[in-house]
Amino acid sequence: MKYLDELLDELIYYSGLDVEIYINNYLPCPAMSSMLKNKRIIEVNQYLIPDNVDITAHIMSHEFGHHYLDHVLQDPRTLQQLELDIREDEADTYASVFIEKYGYNKKPIIDFIIKSNHNYHNRIKILNNTL
């Protein structure tokens, strides 16, 4: 992905965070955020992310949102489903603001969300600032 370096520069500038990116093509999802030895990391399954700058920007800004909001400091296995859903909405809100600020195209993002998420209605509302 030739645009990834520029996108990561935007995300680092926007968030003020230093996050390391690792390729893990065994992930069951496009990306996942966590802590590893006190380092903030995002693991990416490059086979589950279309080669599209807008979609990649949304996925990566969503993951940066988990870091910015310190969601990664608590083991998600200790949380109830409602709390997990709230955290996902918060990360989507963070991504939505980033997407708007940097002028990414929402149409391919919406198409991707519809294809890849069973609960896509709220995610699209958040992206469009209508929730």
Q: What is the pLDDT of residues 35-73, one digit of tens each?
A: 999 999 999 999 999 999 999 999 999 999 999 999 999
Domain boundaries, the chain: 4-127
**Hey, what are 38's tokens?**
């006190």
Asked if the model's pLDDT at residue 131 lies above 80, the reply is no
Rounded Cα distance, 101 and 115, in Å: 25
Rounded Cα distance, 110 and 67, in Å: 23
> Between the CA of residue 130 and those of 21, 91, 105, what are the distances in Å?
31, 16, 17
Query: What pLDDT is attached to residue 1?
Result: 65
Quote the mean pLDDT of the chain. 94
Contacts 24+ apart (CB under 8 A), 37-45: 40/67, 40/72, 42/67
Query: What pLDDT is attached to residue 118?
Result: 81
For the stretch 73-125, pLDDT in tens is 999 999 999 999 999 999 999 999 999 999 999 999 999 999 998 889 999 99
> Between the CA of residue 23 and those of 16, 20, 26, 67, 126, what are the distances in Å?
22, 10, 9, 18, 28
Structural class in CATH, domain 4-127: alpha beta
Backbone angles phi, psi at 108, to 5 degrees: -65, -30
